[in-house]
Chains A and B, each alone.
Chain A
Amino acid sequence: MNKLIVSPAPHVHSGNSIRKEMVSVLIALIPAYLVALYYFGVGAIIVSVTSVISCVIFEYLIQKFLIKGENTVSDYSAVLTGLLLSFNLPSNLPVWIVVIGALVAIGVGKMSFGGLGNNPFNPALVGRVFLLISFPVQMTSWPRPIAWNTAYLDAETSATALSALKEHLGNIPSLFDMFVGNMGGSMGEVSALALLLGFVYLLFKRTITWHIPVSILLTVFIMTGIFYLVNPQTYVSPIIHLLSGGLMLGAIFMATDFVTSPMTKTGMTIYGIGIGIITVVIRMFGSYPEGVSFAILIMNAFTPLINTYIKPKRFGEVRKNG
């Protein structure tokens, strides 16, 4: 007879795994990816495939030769980082820039801290912001969305709604176009509809809770709403703010990154409100047209602080004075 195995309780496990969590996020990204393929065509494929493959390769190499640890590629977190990075890039970005972005995202954003679970900042956003600052021209020439686009580097470019606002160009796409994604922008951020579909899927799978996305979107809506009510001539309606730029993508997929977001529901709400406020401030008063990435990175830095001070409601908590 084999020896009996002894281990502490519990003796059953939910079967949940990091890979399953990552896969469900990947599935939730499919609608947005399909929209990207439709509007940006070949460019979207080249950028996303390059990004994913280089992220995976960099993670493998760094794990093997620098950290000399166990291979972690199989948890699919690098695939997710790669895909999210590409979603934050314009589809006409040259391959070599994408590769640099992937290196920074994985190398600096993730592995330098010890791999998945230890990184204080969202790796995909680290890569994205690095590229945004280093290659401002390439990073802000957005291709015009054309159905079944076959052009890549030579794609016709257009401004995003937000940069149009910033420079008072005035030709903002219609609300419907903004909702389905028929506008210029990073390849994954354009379609609010597709992203919301993904959000519903994530909620259904209980991969994330509603707290972060809803608190970000509500904060942005309320703040821009106040500005709009005070002075409708200078400021655009809050709906446009919600639908434009990387807000939806950021709120649903970037800010909810497990590793870099707070651990309690109250904490998540505070984190979301913080992101919302910083986003609006950058959009309205900053020199960049878009501020979601910066806002998330700044609030990432506050996450440990939030975790330290915001505790969950304890069962049977006795109030000190009561």
Chain B
Amino acid sequence: MNLILASVVSLGGIGALSAVILYFIAQKFHVEEDARIDEVEAVLPAANCGGCGFPGCRAFAAACVTADTLDNLSCPVGGTATMEKVADILGKKAAAVVPTIAVVRCGGTCEMREKTNSYDGVKSCTIVHNLYGGETGCSWGCLGLGDCEVSCTFDAIHINPETMLPEVDEDKCTACGACVKACPKNIIELRRKGPKSRRIYVNCVNKDKGAVNKKVCKVACIGCSKCFNVCPYEAIEMGNNLAYIDSEKCKLCRKCVEVCPTNAIVELNFPPRKTKIEEPSTTGTEK
């Protein structure tokens, strides 16, 4: 009996004492925190992807609360809707966000770009990139080992085992930019999602001369400037033997797609063109 009593008293005493100490410590180290941070955090997607440039959603929420305007702050995952909610809570104005999406700019599938050697080692693009130019003759293109796939927290980008190129799942991609950072070849770019997800882009980042390119990859941009000349909106820039379509200026007229000799310019989610059989008939009636 004595033993039980003694242990109850001593343990209870230690417990009570610790509680008192803890109470005072908590008082002393109490951090005053803006209650709105919690509110803001609650409307954020809680993906902690870091796409906003902050380490996690809570840090972003804190930044929103302390910032004067929300102009430079945006949550790529939640998009405009989320930022409006945040703006409501804080009584600030949200900047309009143009929805973007990750775009893989390499068309070098196994057929189009033949392997010249075979890599044997760690399955990591960054390690291969550090080692050498890659399994194909093109030292700019996709290595196909899936660093982007690993980096994606939304399960939105996957290497297609047939083409060995990554493919972006449009419904899942939140444009957080993790894959853009993960890709050692800087192939992936965040581009404007475009109306009805329609996009036109140059599917190549190879800066070698056209003659060299053509040997190693059938769909490489050879820097011929045909698209540059045909574009009515000056949306195409030429440089380093490579064309680049500015998604801000592009009006999706698709003229460049038609003139590209190597099919390096890709159009996405457009309705099928009128077939060529129709064309002569229409011109014929006009005559």
Task: Mark A residues whose CB is within 8 Å of B.
Answer: 3-8
Contacts and interface: CB of A to CB of B under 8 A. Distances in A.
A3 B115 CA distance: 8
A108 B97 CA distance: 53
Interface in B81-128: 115-122, 127
B120 A6 contact: yes
A5 B118 CA distance: 5
B131 interface: yes
B131 A4 contact: no
A3 B116 CA distance: 6
A8 B121 contact: yes
A4 B119 CA distance: 8
A67 B121 CA distance: 25
A6 B115 contact: no
5 contacts: A3-B115, A5-B118, A6-B118, A6-B120, A7-B119
A3 B117 contact: yes
A6 B118 CA distance: 6
Contacts of B29: none
A8 B131 contact: yes
Interface string B111-152: 000011111111000010001100100000000000000000
B127 A6 contact: no
Contacts, number: 24
A38 B135 CA distance: 61
B120 A4 contact: no
Given A3-B115, A6-B117, 5 more contacts: A3-B116, A3-B118, A6-B119, A6-B132, A8-B127
Contacts of B119: 5-7
Contacts of B132: 6
Interface in B24-75: none
B121 A7 contact: yes
A3, A6, A8: which has the most chain B beta carbons within 10 Å?
A: A6
A276 B131 CA distance: 48
A3 B131 CA distance: 17
Nearest to A9: B131
A5 B132 CA distance: 12
Contacts of A7: 119-121
A10 to B, nearest CB: 11
A7 B119 CA distance: 6
Contacts of A4: 117-118
B80 to A, nearest CB: 43
Contacts of B115: 3
A166 B63 CA distance: 68
Contacts of B117: 3-6
Contacts of A8: 121-122, 127, 131
Contacts of B118: 3-6
Interface in B171-195: none
Contacts of A3: 115-118
A4 B115 CA distance: 10
A8 B121 CA distance: 7
A7 B117 CA distance: 10
A7 B120 CA distance: 5
A5 B119 CA distance: 6
Nearest to A4: B117
A155 to B, nearest CB: 44
A6 B131 CA distance: 9
Contacts of B116: 3
A4 B118 CA distance: 6
A255 B198 CA distance: 65
A3 B136 CA distance: 11
Contacts of B131: 6, 8
B5 to A, nearest CB: 27
Nearest to B127: A8
Nearest to B122: A8
A7 B122 CA distance: 9
A131 B135 CA distance: 55
A188 B221 CA distance: 72
